[in-house]
Structure 1
Amino acid sequence: MQKRFLAAAILLPLSATAAAQNATGAPSYTYVQGTYTAYGHAHGVGKDYNGYGIKGSFAINPHVFVNASYDWLDVNDRNLDANRTSVGVGLDDFFDYGGAPGTGLGYYGQVSYERLGLQDVRCHDDASGNGFGVDAGLRWMVEPRIEINPHVGYVDYGNVDGDTNLGDANGVRYGVRVRGYVTPAIALSVGYRGSNASTDRRNIGFDNEVRVGASWNF
């Protein structure tokens, strides 16, 4: 019940503004993005990791969007690999606070299906969990070509089970990203993503990620 209330608390205030027209200068929610995780730390196993990711987002209308993402993560000096899948739907709006043209404060909230897959956890044992996520964030256009995107959320992967049982995995995730628009369609980004989510029994979690990326906006 508390988790459902958290999702409603994030999304319902945004739904009250969904009838408004899209504001000039609002960032696009229709894009494809590729990312490289240059550094991350897998606590519990004490190893660093890197990896790749892809994400796509589509604006159904000016205030409703859907998205999907997939990350491949490779733990250094271990056979352990991980993948994360997310499919979400959200609401967004944009506040023009009267600054320079192309500036303003965007905000959004979303709920999502989440999957965590772990390969070769112990020898050749695999495990996976399926659950949900709730996230909210800002898309602050500090000037027409610079966007700052702080975000925070909660993820629950459920029971991570398979060839071996690692127990429940859930926790808070958070981060910030800076995106620079080379053109209105092409953007480069750098960001940090943290999380305290980890499995109960072996404390396998993936956090403190530094990521760089590029996106094509439509």
Structure 2
Amino acid sequence: MKIKSLVIATTLALGATATTAMAETPSFSYIEGRYVEMDEAETTFDGYEAEVSGRLGNYMFISGSYGETSGNWSELGNVDLDIATGRLGFIFGQDERVAAYVGPQVSYIQSTYGLGSDGDWELGDDSTTDWGAFAGVRAMILPRVEINGEVSYIDFERESLTSYTAGTRIYLTPNLAATGQLRMGDLDGFAVGLNYSF
């Protein structure tokens, strides 16, 4: 009887330890690839994004992302968007399962008008680089489930770009997660992808 109780207690303790190990503070060191779809006016853009992020000590991280999307803006051709963003984040309010962050960012956007990357001609292009800021919160609500929210602002020369995101990461293994993101603001849309943290 005592041996059976000891085995059950040990098994439960090991299970609880394994569960706790999955519920660490969200990682800021990762690589992620995403399929993206977003709307502007009557044009729907879709494409991909890739992001790399690395932690710098206990309270900072640096990240970079690049994406290519395209959409049909008239009967004559497409517009292709190349977007690159660099960020420096400061982590605060961090405990075992929650982390808040804020920081500056710089974004570069190039718009190419014409038949697109597979066409024979280009009508023209335009590019701009400007600064902004971002802030967000990430929280592990279950051992394998993270939720996150963020606000991002870029002050471009002709117009500003503000976006709000709400997303989740569902960890399939301790390092690999499926991701989903709802995007609202000046560009509405969604993103789905895979994230590998290290």
TM-score higher than 0.5: yes
Contact 1:147–1:180 (8 Å) recurs in 2: yes
The aligned length equals 167
Q: Percent identity?
A: 25
> Following the alignment from structure 2 to structure 1, what is the Cα–Cα distance between the partners of residues 114 and 182?
26
Higher helix share: 2
In the TM superposition, residue 94 of structure 1 has moved relative to its aligned partner by: 5.0
Indicate yes or no: 2:162 matched with 1:172.
yes
Structure 2, unpaired ranges of 5+: 1-22, 116-121
The higher radius of gyration belongs to 2
Within 5 Å, give how 1:16-35 maps onto structure 2: 25-35=24-34
Structure-2 residue corresponding to 1:188: 178
Alignment match, 1:41 = 39
Where do 1:61-140 residues align within 5 Å?
61-76=57-72, 78-93=77-92, 95-96=94-95, 104-120=97-113, 124-140=123-139
The aligned residue for residue 146 of structure 2 is 147
Q: Which amino acid aligns with 1:111?
A: P
Equivalent-residue separation in structure 2 for 1:194 and 1:129 (angstroms): 22
Alignment check: 8 A CA contact 1:81 1:118 kept: yes
* 1:194 CA displacement: 2.1
Q: Is the 8 A contact 2:140 2:147 kept in 1?
A: yes
Could you report, residue by residue, the CA deviation over 1:102-159 in whole angstroms, capped at 9, with x for unpaired residues?
x62211112111111100179611001110120100001101211111111211122x
Cα distance, 1:53–1:66 mapped onto 2, change above 3 Å: same
The 8 Å contact of residues 112 and 133 in structure 1, kept in 2 or not, is answered as yes
Q: Contact 1:155 / 1:173 at 8 angstroms: preserved in 2?
A: no
Check the 8 A contact 1:115/1:157 in 2, yes or no.
Answer: no
- 1:40 deviates by 1.6
Q: Distance in 2 between matches of 1:113 and 1:95?
A: 25
Counterpart CA distance in 2 for 1:172 and 1:67 is 19
Q: Is 1:42–1:75's contact at 8 Å kept on the other side of the alignment?
A: no
After superposition, the Cα gap between the structure-2 partners of 1:95 and 1:113, relative to the gap in structure 1 and judged at 3 Å, is closer
> What is the alpha-carbon distance in structure 1 between the residues aligned to residue 142 and residue 169 of structure 2?
11
- Report the counterpart of residue 12 of structure 2 in structure 1: none
| In structure 2, C-alpha distance between the alignment counterparts of 1:110 and 1:183, rounded to whole Å | 30
CA offsets 1:154-175 (integer angstroms, 9 cap, x no match)? 11122xxxxxxxxx12132111
Indicate the RMSD between aligned Cα atoms, in angstroms. 1.9
TM-score (norm 1): 0.71
C-alpha contact 2:25 2:139 (8 A) present in aligned 1: no
